[in-house]
A = this chain, B = another copy of it.
């Protein structure tokens, strides 16, 4: 039961998540040899003020 978690900047549409969920699931099924209905995916929409790189929040970049 692979569990895939995707953290990405908020703002993606439902349609984008819908397609990514499908593609990631296909990739896990193909490469890890599991049935699709055992693959779970969780998305976390990260606000710009909650992500930092190189010590700077995304809102400051």
Residue positions of A touching B, CB distance < 8 A: 1-9, 12, 14, 16-28, 30-34, 36-46, 49-57, 59-60
What are the residues of chain B within 8 A of A17 when measuring CB–CB? 49-50, 52, 57
A42 contacts B46, CB within 8 Å? yes
How distant is the Cα of A40 from the Cα of B9 in the complex, in angstroms? 13
A3-B3, A23-B27 as given contacts; A51 in contact with B42, CB under 8 Å: yes
**Copies of chain A in the complex:** 6
Would you give the shortest CB distance from A13 to chain B, in whole angstroms?
A: 9
How distant is the Cα of A56 from the Cα of B24 in the complex, in angstroms? 11
How distant is the Cα of A12 from the Cα of B47 in the complex, in angstroms? 14
How distant is the Cα of A8 from the Cα of B50 in the complex, in angstroms? 11
